[in-house]
Structure 1
């Protein structure tokens, strides 16, 4: 009995507590971070979304993007064409997915409940959690390389630190120290809630953006112009089985796939928007302008550096080490390198926190709402980096990393189902209260699973999985049709799953798909929003401004909602 009481006491202590007067009930399907966000928590303006997408652009991966396409044998104009078209499509698909968050203020975790069923939503959710764990660890490792450059710029002897690890450890002391420092420096940022991300976004954009421009200008001045890399023409090998058109298509697919995870959970962050136009303006300008400019700056800098050093350095940490002669350079060179490396490192740090740790926290909250909120979930995701051991993945399992990079094969069908369901089947109408209960819920379907989503999802990735396998295995003579399907994987997965899901719902219709609540139970909408949607708002003092007055709270608690059959 005493042991049971202790467990009950512990359970009470670790359970999340919410202000039920603000409708932040905590149960098996709901907590403060899963309910539709009320107006006072929606703090993101256009610059927040500009910064959100900027951190996905102001990074090493986007800097190196042109190199991927040039090594295929494509020309510089062809590489830039891929980048521009890819960025336009990223903005389009992101907006399609994020619109449910803008209109109904719910995130990816809850959004999938009306498509997959309350329990079926665990299928896309678990995929996202796996990706968050692994990519968080990989990003920490890559950020650690930049921190190692920063340390070398301060203490040049660090570049020559002896390797204390044995031959069985697939890393060096130099790399591991950078990882540890990066991990610990990142940890305090986990305590920042998404509502307060404006200052980190501002610092990242100014620091890293100005640093990149300064780096390009320095390289052009020292080299007195760009090098031969800038004028690279098409150099497809004579033995290449692919023409430039197929390679361009593969590049566009790769560009979309690289950000598929961020596209999928777009509503996790769009729900923080003050207004839809904030999301649209910030996303489009950042995706198109910043995304393209960073790739262009990386290309120009690499071309100019080729004239200076005689080699092409696409990886910023490698080029930075060469610039300061591996720590033996002048104090001015080391100061400049420190500024650049620190800017890249801070960008990688906050990109990882926002795109992996916080997103992982939201997803974990969907699995265990009683015990995990965004902050706890982000900490769990970050601690998991030590379990994942990225030094093993980066330095040994290159095939595994290739598989992760191609995971859009499975994510694109999910995006297709989400888009079809929201726009074509539900006509952008959602019954919010039914997303947080199993009894008499329109979204419980069959035992909590909407079976229509499962075959639609499988049919989306089945045609392209063969191409993924032969590509990752580096088969010397893979079947041409399989690879061609893989080059179109994102579009095939999106459209096949959307079409099949649509016709399954036509053949086996779900009743009342376009129903909404009669009353704004969660205080999610301003009076103007409620009138536009056609629902009864709560008292104005309950939904406008931060906390409500006690009288307003009591009146909200006494609202009886539609067919819920209980007071909220």
Structure 2
């Protein structure tokens, strides 16, 4: 069995001493022969993820802060390049050893202590999955209402949502189930089509924008409102906000990179798919929005509202299909996949990837996202706090792999539990002390008004302080943790 074609209830290999609470076929290292993702697969996965409604609207927030169009594009470039660096280095362990985030994080947190950051990441992933499902179902609802007038009258509601909304969500869930039904292999093939297709539609929209605006349009002629120290601070805050969109994914990027053939493939794929594609996509969104000023007298950043403003049934249907495709693309790779692996890690003897993914599809609805949309500020504020807690995990993982273990894990040790080595509860105190202190510093600005400026840089604080403290605590505990860095992994070595 393999991670690409998961088995059900697979027992640990005999003679290796693996703990069945820490192992199943989906958590096992992917053999080199089955790591068949090329740089093209990695880049198209990222293309599908960065082309979403949140990314499209992000430039609006930057310009509303007073930036010019060029400054907004520069902020996106800086943010995504820094994200690329974090994901490049945190993906290396996944590519080298072929194991997912939930297994790698056992090294700095202990075999059972790792469940804490895994659960935090899973909670965030499942919530964003639910939000994306609701948003995509609204596009389905709009399309069906356009094609069949009676559909719009199925508005008898229950549990806070009309009947046509429930039916639209059911249809969208079926699309999700179709994509994930054959595991990671089908996800890879879907993203190979979805990513480039969304870009193609973006190019068409950009051509329309250039035609309507007779060039780059009025947005590029508007001067910046940012000057001096305050301007530099606002620019930095904007960069941090853009990083926040993908900060959680920086933690579990090994879930994808474990299937990539070589380090070159994962680096090149992420370089093309993340900073380069994101910058191009932001430029497209600015041009299209520039055109809306000419066409409608005001900037329209929300793509759904833009479709309604154009008021053409054909455009509404085709544009809605693109929004559905883009939403499905980001949801499968960025939310369902990490949440499914996290569930498999918690219940390895009962779940495989396929079962866990299907469980995520329905469990996510328990978040009742249609209610959160009515009070989005509160939930997004809460998610910023949770994301602040994951910044330290990124820093801790980087220090653990590159500094304390010299880019070489004993993979067998990550599937074993020893009370003598790991303590009674299987927790590495060094990781928890570092995450606790750094996490508190990262989120204190959300609760103490005098320190509110720290909240704007929570991810940077978490990464730097978490990594620094773990280096100190980890070195102090090096003797006890020596079993996790005893030598090269035998099951999975880095492909050349």
Please say whether Structure 1 and Structure 2 have the same fold, judged by a TM-score greater than 0.5: yes
SS in 2 for 1:31: coil
Q: Per the alignment, do residues 179 and 199 of structure 1 end up closer, same or farther by CA in structure 2, a change over 3 Å counting? A: same
2:176 to 186, 206, 211: 186
1:210 aligns with 2:237: no
Q: What is the CA–CA distance in structure 2 between the aligned matches of 1:34 and 1:298, rounded to whole Å?
A: 39
Partner residue in 2 for 1:486: 455
Q: Is the contact between residue 149 and residue 317 of structure 1 (CA under 8 Å) also seen in structure 2?
A: no
Partner residue in 1 for 2:3: none
Partner residue in 2 for 1:273: 260
Shift of 1:174: 5.4
Q: What is the CA–CA distance in structure 2 between the aligned matches of 1:106 and 1:310, rounded to whole Å?
A: 52
Q: What is the CA–CA distance in structure 2 between the aligned matches of 1:51 and 1:441, rounded to whole Å?
A: 45
1:308 to 295, 320, 345: 295
Partner residue in 2 for 1:264: 251
Count of residues in correspondence between the two structures: 489
Q: What does 1:551-566 correspond to in 2, within 5 Å?
A: none
Shift of 1:446: 5.5
Q: Per the alignment, do residues 28 and 349 of structure 1 end up closer, same or farther by CA in structure 2, a change over 3 Å counting? A: same
Q: What does 1:59-208 correspond to in 2, within 5 Å?
A: 59-155=52-148, 158=151, 160-161=152-153, 163-165=155-157, 169=160, 171-173=161-163, 175-208=165-198
Partner residue in 2 for 1:222: 212
Shift of 1:25: 8.0
Task: Write the deviation string for residues 165-197 of structure 1: whole angstroms up to 9, x where unpaired.
Answer: 37x83x555544433322222222121321343
Q: Is the contact between residue 425 and residue 513 of structure 1 (CA under 8 Å) also seen in structure 2?
A: no
Q: Is the contact between residue 258 and residue 408 of structure 1 (CA under 8 Å) also seen in structure 2?
A: no
Q: What is the CA–CA distance in structure 2 between the aligned matches of 1:494 and 1:286, rounded to whole Å?
A: 23
Q: What is the CA–CA distance in structure 2 between the aligned matches of 1:303 and 1:399, rounded to whole Å?
A: 31
Q: Is the contact between residue 140 and residue 320 of structure 2 (CA under 8 Å) also seen in structure 1?
A: yes
Q: What is the CA–CA distance in structure 2 between the aligned matches of 1:518 and 1:40, rounded to whole Å?
A: 19
Q: What is the CA–CA distance in structure 2 between the aligned matches of 1:453 and 1:24, rounded to whole Å?
A: 25
Task: Write the deviation string for residues 237-267 of structure 1: whole angstroms up to 9, x where unpaired.
Answer: 9xxx981111111111111111012111011
SS in 2 for 1:396: helix
Q: Is the contact between residue 412 and residue 493 of structure 1 (CA under 8 Å) also seen in structure 2?
A: yes
Root mean square deviation, CA, Å: 2.7
Task: Write the deviation string for residues 483-511 of structure 1: whole angstroms up to 9, x where unpaired.
Answer: 22122211111111111111122334334
Shift of 1:383: 0.6
Higher relative contact order (CA 8 A, sep 6+): 2
1:498 to 425, 446, 467: 467
Point out where structure 1 has 5 or more consecutive residues left out of the alignment. 1-13, 325-332, 471-477, 530-568
Partner residue in 2 for 1:466: 444
Shift of 1:151: 2.1
Partner residue in 1 for 2:362: 383
Q: Is the contact between residue 132 and residue 381 of structure 1 (CA under 8 Å) also seen in structure 2?
A: no
Q: Is the contact between residue 417 and residue 426 of structure 2 (CA under 8 Å) also seen in structure 1?
A: yes
Q: Per the alignment, do residues 410 and 19 of structure 1 end up closer, same or farther by CA in structure 2, a change over 3 Å counting? A: closer
Partner residue in 2 for 1:291: 278
1:455 to 433, 458, 470: 433
Q: Is the contact between residue 45 and residue 188 of structure 2 (CA under 8 Å) also seen in structure 1?
A: no
1:510 to 447, 456, 479: 479
Q: Is the contact between residue 430 and residue 514 of structure 1 (CA under 8 Å) also seen in structure 2?
A: yes
Q: What is the CA–CA distance in structure 1 between the aligned matches of 2:17 and 2:308, rounded to whole Å?
A: 51
Task: Write the deviation string for residues 99-130 of structure 1: whole angstroms up to 9, x where unpaired.
Answer: 11111111100001111001110110110121
Partner residue in 1 for 2:337: 358
Q: What is the CA–CA distance in structure 2 between the aligned matches of 1:213 and 1:364, rounded to whole Å?
A: 38
Q: What is the CA–CA distance in structure 2 between the aligned matches of 1:71 and 1:487, rounded to whole Å?
A: 17
Point out where structure 2 has 5 or more consecutive residues left out of the alignment. 1-6
Q: What is the CA–CA distance in structure 2 between the aligned matches of 1:58 and 1:135, rounded to whole Å?
A: 15
Q: Per the alignment, do residues 303 and 200 of structure 1 end up closer, same or farther by CA in structure 2, a change over 3 Å counting? A: same
Q: Per the alignment, do residues 23 and 446 of structure 1 end up closer, same or farther by CA in structure 2, a change over 3 Å counting? A: closer
1:52 to 45, 56, 77: 45
Q: What is the CA–CA distance in structure 1 between the aligned matches of 2:96 and 2:83, rounded to whole Å?
A: 20
Q: Per the alignment, do residues 519 and 449 of structure 1 end up closer, same or farther by CA in structure 2, a change over 3 Å counting? A: closer
Give the TM-score, by structure 1 length.
Answer: 0.80
Q: Per the alignment, do residues 430 and 279 of structure 1 end up closer, same or farther by CA in structure 2, a change over 3 Å counting? A: same
Shift of 1:26: 8.4
Q: What is the CA–CA distance in structure 2 between the aligned matches of 1:223 and 1:517, rounded to whole Å?
A: 61
Q: Is the contact between residue 420 and residue 502 of structure 1 (CA under 8 Å) also seen in structure 2?
A: yes
Q: What is the CA–CA distance in structure 2 between the aligned matches of 1:20 and 1:456, rounded to whole Å?
A: 34
Shift of 1:364: 0.6
Q: Per the alignment, do residues 436 and 174 of structure 1 end up closer, same or farther by CA in structure 2, a change over 3 Å counting? A: same
Shift of 1:231: 2.5
Q: What is the CA–CA distance in structure 2 between the aligned matches of 1:123 and 1:217, rounded to whole Å?
A: 48
Q: What is the CA–CA distance in structure 2 between the aligned matches of 1:22 and 1:81, rounded to whole Å?
A: 55
SS in 1 for 2:250: helix
More helix by share: 2
